[in-house]
Amino acid sequence: MAEMMKGNEAIAEAAVRAGVKFYAGYPITPSSEIMEYLSWRLPEVGGSFVQAESELAGINMVIGAAASGVRALTASSGPGISLKQEGVSTLSDEGLSAVVITQVRYGNGLGTLLSAQCDYNRETRGGGHGDYRCLVFAPASVQEFVDLMRPAYELAEKYRVVSVMMGEATLGQMMEPVTLPDFVEAERTPWALNGHYTYKKIGIFERDSMKEAVELVDKYNTIRENEQRWEDEGLEDADYVFVSYGVPGRSTLGAVRELRAQGEKVGIIRPITVWPFPEKAFYKINPNVKGIITVEANATGQLVDDAALYTKKALKERNVPAYALTYVFGTPTIRNIKKDYFEVKSGILKCQLPIKKEKSLFWWISQWTSVRDAATES
């Protein structure tokens, strides 16, 4: 039976039910409720919780727990996730599985507390130093976040990688009806340390880097082939195809359905995994499509680069224009997406590849005003 739950609390409970036995992290808005919830919930199920003295300490504790073969979790946002990148790189180097939750907030440096999608490039390109990839999930609802928690661990263990759950501040702070999954008692991973030092890979000497590189490429190619997830609608006859993930993906789907009801030939690809990127979906697009439009909660346009790349790969004979509709403050409304779509269609909004669409101060003010008005109306 569904029950109303705050996003971060539902996510934390889903982690417990997915078999998590260890959490270490440091508080930061907008993800702090995850660790607050787990501080009392994990001991109830025989797990361990540590509020670390820093983000760096937290991710290093996760490394130890993962090496011991238990399902380990950490969560943060923005600068906190940046501080964890050395540890994520180490987890990837040692082939240790773990899940990292990021509830993305807007801004560079310390940033702000506003919900955003400005960390797409960091999460989909690895984030830290080295030659590695993480599985990256981009849920669009609290329920989808909950449903993806168990697969995030199962796939991390199958491929011995880190799974990143890339949410948004909105998902952590909103309340939605949620149906929680059954409990899973995860088995200790067979490759875990057992008290006898037999692992030969640690360190920088006596390693066959070429052999490791070949194995990595094979593993990542397998993930690319088998683990793409997405939702699509209306691609076969679409003149314009929207690409959007996360909470803006929900608004975009609503806009697409309203536009089709008005006779507009539009479709949508909503990535559920952003790495591997769902390139297979792009082969379903109408070969005569007139343009690709990304809807993103950031200022510079990041998703548009991948959308343009895989459109070009799928439609080799055509140079399809790509447009980025970028919205900074919170989640774009259906009304604004539709308005901007008609500006694209009429030629008012021009295409660039890659898109770096500059906005006037009036545009930013108008976006903030529309979000404020939408909140007032609701």
The per-residue pLDDT for range 309-338, each reduced to its tens digit, is 999 999 988 899 999 999 987 789 999 999
The answer to whether 322 and 357 have CB atoms below 8 angstroms apart is: no
| Dihedral pair phi/psi, residue 177, rounded to 5° | -65, 135
| CATH assignment of 230-377, among 1.20.140.10, 3.40.50.920, 3.50.50.60, 3.40.50.2300 | 3.40.50.920
The per-residue pLDDT for range 129-145, each reduced to its tens digit, is 999 999 999 999 999 99
The answer to whether 307 and 285 have CB atoms below 8 angstroms apart is: no
Q: What's the CA gap between 247 and 39, in Å, rounded? A: 28
Residue owning tokens 């199958």: 158
Q: Mean pLDDT, consecutive 10-residue segments, the chain of 378 residues?
A: 95 98 96 98 98 97 95 97 96 95 94 92 93 97 98 98 97 97 92 69 72 94 98 98 97 98 98 98 97 94 95 92 88 94 90 41 39 43
Nearest Cα residue to 169 out of 32, 353, 17: 32
Q: What's the CA gap between 62 and 41, in Å, rounded? A: 18
Report the CATH architecture of 3-226.
3-Layer(aba) Sandwich (3.40)
The answer to whether 214 and 262 have CB atoms below 8 angstroms apart is: no
Residues of the chain with CATH 3.40.50.920: 230-377
Residues of the chain with CATH 3.40.50.970: 3-226
